[in-house]
Amino acid sequence: MEFNVDKHIKSYWDKIIGLTEANKKEEFVDATSENSVRTSRFLEGFNLDPIMPELNKHYSVKEGEETYPRRAMFRAMVWKKTKKVRYYTRAENHLRDHPDEAIELGFNIDLDDNAVVPDHETLRHFEKIRLGNEGMDALMELFCIKVVGDGKKLGLKIGERTGTDSTPIEIPNDPDGTYNGHYKKKMVKMHITSDYDHNIPLAKQVCGGTDDDNQYLEGMLKKTAISAKENMDETWYDGGYNSNKNIALAHVDLGLTCHYHIDQDWRRNVTYEHNFGGKTYIYTPEQEINYLYRKYWNEPEYKKDASFEYMMKYLIKKEVYEPVAMHFRNPYVAAYDECHDGVLDVYHQRNHSEGINSYMKENLGLETQINGKRMKNIDLHVTECCIVMLTAALTRLQHGITKNLSSVAYLT
């Protein structure tokens, strides 16, 4: 067979060009309600350079020496999730039958102009072994940092208003599922902290179906702070997270204004009673904080002239949460008693957080497209769903687009 020099040169340059995302020939076209776009074409416009330092950690060879370009493998993972292709065999077959999409994702072309597509085992290995849960978590964190950073360049304060909520993921045949009497299903829970204004996931946690939500809010907000600390201002969460510890930590350690569910059995205007010298004294939370702080007078970090904020932080380090929480909760409850509607109108903005959970279920198969059983596979699936939304957001930001950042609804 005659050697085709032109095809050989074309294949060579395809490999070289595959190493950089600069100078795309075709103009980027966004996917909107007025204009749907093929997923592979949309992802062709995604510059992976910002995430390559993390992606490269999972390869033992330099970029360009691998059989299948790592950039194409990552795009293929996002493509598969966006199109709700559950099985790797189906993904392989689709790419073989649609080489134009494979080429848009960044896979190479052989000497006969055929797309060099990985088999299903290679696709599975990339997600579950090469990257795995830890690698995907690290990529999600880096994506959050890049999305917040690129948003700032375009005047957006991503993470300024966040909400945290949990949602059930029903897994009737999975041994890691637990029956939850409230939801009446065998399930696990997914916790998401998202940006309210742009519907962008900034932290996630998967846990058992009957786990107490309270234990997860601190970690979720601290994960969010890794990328968005300088922007974080207000946060919303429901009654599952409204413990004294969470109220104290969110207000004091993270400096947030908090909006949360008010339990009907909460005491109003909580005070503290002390007996000294046969007399009874009623302390406000502020007086109680000062009183408790003074008990640590002999410790190295004690400051005689400490500010009230320092006292609160000190007590939190000592795991003394209630009076700190009451300092914030008392006026919050009082405002609710004075004007129910005013407080509730603000609180019910948390429906945005519930919205991202529903969005993932409808558009990314959060509950129906899990590939494999056990918590490890469920967690990987959830992380990938978050990465898909973050990829959509970062792609748009790279092209100066600031609307509907995380939308995948019009990708085909």
Mean pLDDT over 275-279 rounds to 92
Residue-wise over 236-261: b if at least 16 C-beta within 10 A, else e?
bbbebbbbbbbbbbbbbbbebebbbe
Query: What pLDDT band is residue 14 in, cutting at 50, 70 and 90?
Result: low
Query: What pLDDT band is residue 222 in, cutting at 50, 70 and 90?
Result: very high
> For all residues of the chain together, what is the average pLDDT?
92
187: nearest Cα among 207, 212, 205: 207
pLDDT at 169 over 80: yes
Task: Decide: 162 and 234 in contact? Cβ < 8 Å.
Answer: yes
47, 243, 398 from 191: Cα distances, Å: 29, 16, 28
Q: Greatest CA separation found in the chain?
A: 107
Through-space distance between the first and last CA atoms of the chain, rounded to whole angstroms: 39
Q: What is the pLDDT of residues 291-343, one digit of tens each?
A: 999 999 999 999 999 999 999 999 999 999 999 999 999 999 999 989 877 77
H or E element: which one contains 189? Answer: strand 185-195
Task: Decide: 393 and 30 in contact? Cβ < 8 Å.
Answer: no
Per-residue confidence (pLDDT) for residue 353, from 0 to 100:
52
Q: What is the pLDDT of residues 84-94, one digit of tens each?
A: 999 999 999 99
Determine the Cα–Cα distance for residues 180 and 208; give it in Å rounded to an integer: 10
What is the SS3 assignment for 352? helix
Query: What pLDDT band is residue 239 in, cutting at 50, 70 and 90?
Result: confident
40, 157, 201, 308, 411 from 392: Cα distances, Å: 12, 17, 12, 44, 10
β-strand partners of 259: 236
pLDDT at 199 over 90: yes
How crowded is residue 339: how many other Cβ atoms within 10 Å of its Cβ? 11
Percent of the chain with pLDDT over 70: 92
Mean pLDDT over 114-119 rounds to 94
Mean pLDDT over 360-389 rounds to 96
Within 13 Å, how many C-alpha atoms sit on residue 114's CB side?
6
Determine the Cα–Cα distance for residues 232 and 221; give it in Å rounded to an integer: 10
Q: What is the pTM of this model?
A: 0.91
**Which one-letter amino acid corresponds to residue 81?**
K
In the chain, domain spans: 5-138+392-398, 159-368
Q: What is the pLDDT of residues 18-37, one digit of tens each?
A: 444 444 457 899 999 999 99
